[in-house]
Copies of this chain bind each other. A is one copy, B any other.
Amino acid sequence: MAGFADKRQWGPTPRYDRVRAYEPKQKDFIVIAGPCSVESETQINYVANAVASAGATHLRGGLFRAGTYPNDNYGIVSQDLFKAFKYAAGVYQLKTVIEVLDAHSLDFVLPYADCLQVGCRQMQNYSLLTRLSRTNKTVFLKRSPGATIDEFLGSAEYLLKGGACTPVLIERGSATQATHVRWDLSISMIPAIKSISQIPVVVDAAHGTGRRDLVVPMTLAGVAAGAAGILVEVHPKPELSLSDADQAIDPNKFKELMFSVGQVRNAIRGI
Contact = CB atoms under 8 A, between A and B. Distances in A.
A195 B212 CA distance: 12
A178 B8 CA distance: 11
A71 B246 contact: no
Interface stretch (A50-58, A76-84, A124-132): A124-132
Interface string A75-95: 000000000000000000000
Given A3-B150, A154-B68, A218-B188, A177 B175 contact: yes
A174 interface: yes
Q: Which of A69, A182, A266 has the most chain B CB atoms inside 10 A of its CB? A: A69
A101 B121 contact: no
A124 B8 contact: no
A180 B187 CA distance: 11
Contact of A10 (B128, B210, B268): B210
A182 B4 contact: no
A179 interface: yes
A15 interface: yes
Interface residues on A, range: 35 or more
Number of this chain's copies in the complex? 4
Nearest to A193: B180
Chain A interface, DSSP helix/strand/loop, else mixed: loop
Interface stretch (A23-31, A34-42, A219-227): A219-227
Nearest to A271: B260
Q: 9 closest pairs, A vs B, by CB?
A: A146-B146, A3-B14, A121-B124, A263-B267, A102-B127, A224-B224, A6-B8, A175-B177, A10-B182
Given A68-B124, A195-B213, 17 more contacts: A4-B179, A15-B70, A17-B71, A70-B126, A101-B127, A121-B123, A148-B179, A149-B178, A174-B176, A176-B186, A177-B177, A178-B188, A180-B188, A192-B211, A220-B267, A221-B222, A263-B266
7 contacts: A4-B8, A5-B211, A145-B177, A174-B177, A223-B224, A260-B268, A267-B267
